[in-house]
Structure 1
Amino acid sequence: MAIEMRPSAATAVAGADALDYYLVLPDRPADGTPADGIVVEEFALGSDHTAIGLDCAGWTAADGEWWSSAAFSRGMRREPDLRRRVAAVPRRDAEVVYRRLGGGELPGEAELRSRFHDREPLGEPPLLLGSPDVPDGFHDRRLYRVLFAGDLAGEGLARLRALWRMTLPGDFADPRARVAGTATLSVAGDLFSWDLRRIGPGVAWCLDLTACLAGPADAAVRPLLRELTTVMRYEGLIPVTIERFS
């Protein structure tokens, strides 16, 4: 099923927040403290929209100081105990918590970027596996993969399938099955399809996006990747990298 969507609608989820915002929750949330601090991240993207680095800035309520740590970003993705304490939120929620914790007004995004001092480098140039078969009527065909740390099941998986009107595979109940659903989208003549794929039970997920571009311009790729990634973040998954295979 192809869904016709205005280009502006493709960025409805992510357009207001250019950066990614997370709350770092306390070990004992019952003490009434909304969070121990706030983390702000942004992928540095190459010209083809793949991730070449990850920038991070954090603020800790206990000392009121901002810091930048690639090690903390790695920990969010590698350490399950830390990942359980991290919750993705829109900027407006981060502003409320920052004010409540005594930080005042959350700095604007340009100022937050000035606090990025410790970039985590990501990968090498794109691993292009060969010349893809470009369907008739299209100029180019690309395959992107967004890798996520964490698990997705139950209501979260159901929400994504419903939101994206995914076609469901018949074998997903089999623990060996990997694809949880497939969706398609047409934007200004470009055709996109994506698979929601389980890497391993409780370990990781990925979103494989195939982009068939009608012309040489690829302006629709970045905002769509951004929107899909943001929706996954709000279901508790943390993006690790954005790769390209063709």
Structure 2
Amino acid sequence: MATEIHPYAGAAVAAPYALDYYLVLPDRPSDETPADGIVVEEFVLADDHTAIGLDSAGWIAADGDWWSSAAFARGMRRDPELRRRVVAVPRRDAEVVYRRLGGGELPGEAALRSRFHDREPLGEPPLILNSPEVPDGFHDKRVYRVLFAGRLGRDQLAHLRAIWRMTLSDDFEDPRTRVAGTASLNVADDLFSWDLRRIGPGAAWSLDLTACLAGRSGDAVRPLLRELTTVMRHEGLIPVTIERFS
């Protein structure tokens, strides 16, 4: 049975879309050099909320210039050593670090988007594997997968359990266990549930979201996908793409 809507979910539905912010840490962080720079990203989404591209821009304090690099965006997801130095932060923290590193006031999001010049294309049109049976009371059922690079430890899983009121599998710590936990909620008349899933032992994770839609617009899908993705980012994972299976 779905829980009542969680406090974070209500905020997500009402909140405007925003960019993703990361700090790039030095090899040896210190109080004097908390970060080498900042990376800002945004998925380019199709009308059905799947990812068709990734825009990004970075700023390194040593150079003082903004740059855009699809290769760096790929490296954040493929290179464990680089990923270790990249930490997700809210915009307010990025503003503090940017100012502290001599950049002044962090540009607004419209200005940051103007620095996106090297888009990383993502995949093909949605792979609709089947037409699932739609439960009574709903007009549409969709299944999305948000794929993440990185690892989740016991503490991160416990935190996700608390945030999402997630039911963990009995053997959730076993790397051979595919579905580590499941959660659900209602947003208005729509029903959402998601599985936290391992993609290979220690290789990657996914969040598989099932959306049973009663309203015609499906307006809650995009902000909820974003909020769930943001929670995962702040547990140390980096989103790779958003796919749709049905």
TM-score for the superposition, normalised by structure 1: 0.95
Taking structure 1 as reference, are residues 13 and 204 closer, same or farther at Cα in structure 2, changes over 3 Å only? farther
Q: Does 1:189 align with 2:189?
A: yes
Q: Is the 2:9–2:224 contact (alpha carbons within 8 Å) kept by the matching residues of 1? A: no
Taking structure 1 as reference, are residues 17 and 219 closer, same or farther at Cα in structure 2, changes over 3 Å only? closer
Q: Is the 1:194–1:207 contact (alpha carbons within 8 Å) kept by the matching residues of 2? A: yes
Which runs of 5 or more structure 2 residues have no equivalent in the other structure? none
What SS does the aligned partner of 1:184 have? Answer: strand
Q: Is the 1:17–1:90 contact (alpha carbons within 8 Å) kept by the matching residues of 2? A: no
For 1:156, give the aligned amino acid: Q
Which runs of 5 or more structure 1 residues have no equivalent in the other structure? none
Q: Which whole-Å CA distance do the structure 1 matches of 2:50 and 2:119 have between them?
A: 16
Residue 32 of structure 1 corresponds to 32
Comparing 16-25 with 108-117, which one deviates more in the overlay?
A: 16-25
1:98 to partner: Cα distance: 0.2
Q: Is the 1:10–1:223 contact (alpha carbons within 8 Å) kept by the matching residues of 2? A: no
For 1:57, give the aligned amino acid: A
Taking structure 1 as reference, are residues 166 and 9 closer, same or farther at Cα in structure 2, changes over 3 Å only? closer
Residue 72 of structure 1 corresponds to 72
What SS does the aligned partner of 1:117 have? Answer: coil
Residue 208 of structure 1 corresponds to 208
Q: Is the 2:134–2:140 contact (alpha carbons within 8 Å) kept by the matching residues of 1? A: yes
Residue 160 of structure 1 corresponds to 160
TM-score for the superposition, normalised by structure 2: 0.95
1:127 to partner: Cα distance: 0.2
Q: Which whole-Å CA distance do the structure 2 matches of 1:241 and 1:226 have between them?
A: 12
1:11 to partner: Cα distance: 3.6
1:176 to partner: Cα distance: 1.9
Residue 217 of structure 2 corresponds to 217
The CA RMSD measured in Å over matched residues stands at 1.8
Percentage of pairs with the same residue? 80
Residue 62 of structure 1 corresponds to 62
Comparing 144-153 with 10-19, which one deviates more in the overlay?
A: 10-19
Residue 96 of structure 1 corresponds to 96
Deviation above 6 Å: which 4+ runs of structure 1? none
Q: Which whole-Å CA distance do the structure 1 matches of 2:5 and 2:18 have between them?
A: 21
Q: Which whole-Å CA distance do the structure 1 matches of 2:13 and 2:76 have between them?
A: 23
Q: Number of aligned pairs?
A: 246
For 2:219, give the aligned amino acid: A
Comparing 4-13 with 123-132, which one deviates more in the overlay?
A: 4-13
For 1:68, give the aligned amino acid: S
Q: Which whole-Å CA distance do the structure 1 matches of 2:212 and 2:149 have between them?
A: 27
Q: Which whole-Å CA distance do the structure 1 matches of 2:61 and 2:228 have between them?
A: 31
Taking structure 1 as reference, are residues 214 and 31 closer, same or farther at Cα in structure 2, changes over 3 Å only? closer
